[in-house]
Amino acid sequence: MLVVNNISFSYPDNKQTLKNISFSLSPGEHLSIMGESGCGKSTLLKIIYGLLDLNKGDIFWKDQQVLGPAFHLVPGMDFFKYVPQDFDLMPFITVAENISKYLSRFFPEEAQRRTEELLEVIEMKEYANSKVKNLSGGQQQRVAIAKSLAREPELLLLDEPFSQIDNFKKNSLRRKLFHYLKEKNIACIVATHDGSDALSFSDQLIVIKDHTILSQGNPIEIYKELTHKYVASLFDDVNELILDGNKRLVYPHQIQIVENSEIEAIVRNNYFKGFYWLIEVELENESYFLSHTNSILLDTKVYLNITELS
């Protein structure tokens, strides 16, 4: 189990980057960390891996304390793997060679099997013999993930792991990768801006704001909680409505157009979203967004109903 106990960290400019962060993670469990750029997500991953020294608190994996460069000549924990946003690949050797580089040469058949298995996970079997320098950024990102898994770490730390991968590849890759991690009982922490990562594949979610934890817990419960506009906006557009004198946060799909109600609004814009339209309406000189099955003529008066999340 990973235990992060009340840690704080500042860079040399004395600007506090993280303060009073605490959480735990069991073997095989997946955690997503969300928050705006600069909130400390990437720094937290580096601290957990052992690349930075804490100002306060401590971190343990099982019975072993995670310590930084002040204690280790070569920082980083052997039983963790960290995939940064710059990938850290060897550009002049092949994809397969990058993945198998740290596998034992005394067992070539096993190394070959592991390499082929991971090429399948990242959907790049046809690029096995391609040099990394000739790959796109998204392809290199996939190779970096496979390389980190070669020796089956106990904990995988991923920093925006799908940021450069095309959408048509991203969904399939995510499903394969997170299924593989569960199958191998590898714990995973993902720093991400993508709410889909958190909602679809995480057991836990932490939201960081102003360098500390604003919300943490089960992703579905956090999604439905609708307490903080900042947290809700990480998943979707969010409306802040005043109803019966009370402020209420609602997602667009919670607002329906009905034949008649006490809430009247005027349609101002339509945005095509594929299987639905996002309709922008004006209500008491404020703009709000709702989901609808089709577009609506501009300046049309509509009546609205607000539903609860189920």
**156 contact partners, CB below 8 Å, separation of at least 6:** 80, 81, 83, 148, 149, 181, 186, 187, 188, 189
CA 310/CA 290 separation, integer angstroms: 17
Q: What is the fold of 238-306?
A: OB fold (Dihydrolipoamide Acetyltransferase, E2P) (2.40.50)
Task: Compute CA 162 distance to the chain's CA centroid, rounded to the nearest angstrom.
Answer: 9
Q: How many CA atoms lie within 13 A of 290 on its CB side?
A: 24
The single-letter DSSP state of residue 88 is: -
pLDDT on residue 301: 97
Contact of 241 with 288, CB cutoff 8 Å: yes
How far CA 306 is from CA of 252, 254, 258, 262, 264, in Å, comes to 10, 6, 10, 11, 12
Can you say whether the dihedral through the CA atoms of 117, 121, 127, 130 is positive or negative?
A: negative
Determine the 3-state secondary structure of 73 from DSSP.
Answer: coil
Domain locations in the chain as residue ranges: 2-229, 238-306
Give the count of alpha carbons within 13 A of 130, CB side only: 13
pLDDT in tens, the chain (310 residues): 999 999 999 988 767 789 999 999 999 999 999 999 889 999 999 999 999 999 999 999 999 999 999 888 777 888 899 998 887 888 889 999 999 887 777 778 888 888 999 999 999 999 999 999 999 988 999 999 999 998 899 999 999 988 888 877 888 899 999 999 999 999 999 999 888 888 999 999 999 999 999 999 999 999 999 999 999 999 999 999 887 778 899 999 999 999 999 999 999 999 999 999 999 999 989 999 999 999 999 999 999 999 988 7
Q: Tell me the HSE value of 310 on the side-chain side, using a 13 A CA sphere.
A: 3
pLDDT at 244: 73
Residue 263 CA to residue 144 CA, distance in Å, equals 52
Contact 68, 54 (CB under 8 A): yes
Helix (H) or strand (E) holding 147: helix 137-149
Among 220, 186, 188, smallest CA distance to 32 is for 188
Domain 238-306 in the same topology as domain 2-229: no
Residue 266: name the closest of 223, 299, 222 by CA: 299
What value, to the nearest 5°, has the Cα angle with vertex 159 and ends 155 and 163? 135
CB distance 51 to 76 below 8 Å: yes
How far apart CA 56 and CA 20 sit, in angstroms, is 8
The CATH homologous superfamily for domain 2-229 is: P-loop containing nucleotide triphosphate hydrolases (3.40.50.300)
Q: Are 243 and 255 in contact (CB under 8 A)?
A: no
Tell me the pTM: 0.91
| Cα angle 278, 276, 163; round to 5 | 80
Q: Are strands 187-191 and 30-34 parallel, antiparallel or unpaired?
A: parallel
**Tell me, what's the pLDDT at 14?**
65
Q: What is the pLDDT of residue 76?
A: 82
